[in-house]
Amino acid sequence: MGEYFIETFGQTYRMQKLAADIWTYATDASTQELSQMGFPKGAAGHHVVVKVITHETSVETHRISRVTTVSWRDGEGKERWLQFVSLQGFHKREP
């Protein structure tokens, strides 16, 4: 009760409070999702989601960003890493 959570693709993730109105959670990226993003077979990745809640003119806004870090080996066997914002958005709750 009273804790933030996010449900994505049938999974429920309980968020950890970092500060007032700032929440986060981390999860592994699925091989299917990495493949859909264009990464080669064998790639591994992690997502970190951050939610910041703001109050603007009596409207509560939830700003959500997801940073993804992926590692893989290229055609020459060299290890590669990439980190990028993979999702970003917001939703508003009006009184």
Q: What is the pLDDT of residue 22?
A: 95
Query: Residue 1 — very low, low, confident or very high, per pLDDT cuts 50/70/90?
Result: low
pLDDT digits (tens, 9 = 90+) for 75-90: 999 999 999 999 999 9
Domain that holds residue 31: 5-93
Q: What is the pLDDT of residue 85?
A: 98
Query: Residue 64 — very low, low, confident or very high, per pLDDT cuts 50/70/90?
Result: very high
Alpha carbons 39 and 82: distance in angstroms, whole number: 10
What does DSSP say about strands 22-29 and 59-73: parallel, antiparallel, or unpaired?
unpaired
Q: What is the pLDDT of residue 50?
A: 96
Structural domain tally of the chain?
1
Indicate whether this model's pTM tops 0.95: no
pLDDT digits (tens, 9 = 90+) for 11-62: 888 899 999 999 999 999 999 999 999 999 999 999 999 999 999 888 999 9
